[in-house]
Structure 1
Amino acid sequence: MDFGIITPAVMGIGVVSMSIAWVVNTWIRVRNGYPLESSWGKPIYPQKNDESIERVKLLSQENAQLRAELGSLKDRLANVERIVTDSGYQLTHEIDRLREEKEVN
C-alpha cells in the first residue's frame, strides 16, 4: 500500500481540525467572559488606566440619563396614546357635560 499520498492528507486534516478547535475554544472563552490567553497560557486581561476608568464613568452617567429620558418619553407616549384612542363619543360627552355645568352655575 502506498502511504505517500495518504500521510500528508491525514496530517493536513489534523492541522485544520486543530485550528478550527482553537478558534471555537477562543470564541467560547470570549463569549463566556474568560480572559484570552497568551501563547504561553497566561491570561491577558484588558488594561485599566485612568482614562479608561473615566470613560466608563462618563458612559455610565450618559446611560443613566438616557434611561431616565426614555422613561419620561414612555410616559408621555402612553398619555398621547390614551388621548388618541379615546373615542370621540366620550370626548363629546365630556364637553357637553362641562357646558351643562357652566350653564347651571
Structure 2
Amino acid sequence: MADEVADMRREFREEIRSLKDELRRQVSQALKNSGSGSIRVDLQKDDVAQAEPSFVVVKDLVRQIREDVKSSLATRGEIAVDELVDSMPETTAADLLKSLANTDRL
C-alpha cells in the first residue's frame, strides 16, 4: 500500500512537472509570436467567479473606509473647534466647549 502511494505521488509530481513545462513552452511561444508582448488567457466562468472579491472582503473594505472617514472628520472637527475657540472671549469659549462636551446633543 505504501509503495502504491509513493508511486502515485511520483506520477503526480511528474504530471505536474510536465504541465508546467508545457505551460512554459506555450507562454514562450506566445511571447515569440506576438509582437506586442500580450498573452491571451481563456478562463472558464467558474474560474472568473472565484477570482472576484468575495462579499466579505468588500464588506471589510467598506467598514475600513467608514472608519477612516469618521476619524478624519473627527480630527477636522477638533481643529475647527480649536480655531473657533481661539478667537472667542474666554467665557463664551468655555460655554461652547461645555456644550460640545455634552455628547448626548451630538
TM-score w.r.t. structure 2 length? 0.37
Asked which structure has the greater CA Rg, the reply is 1
Q: Select the structure that is richer in helix.
A: 2
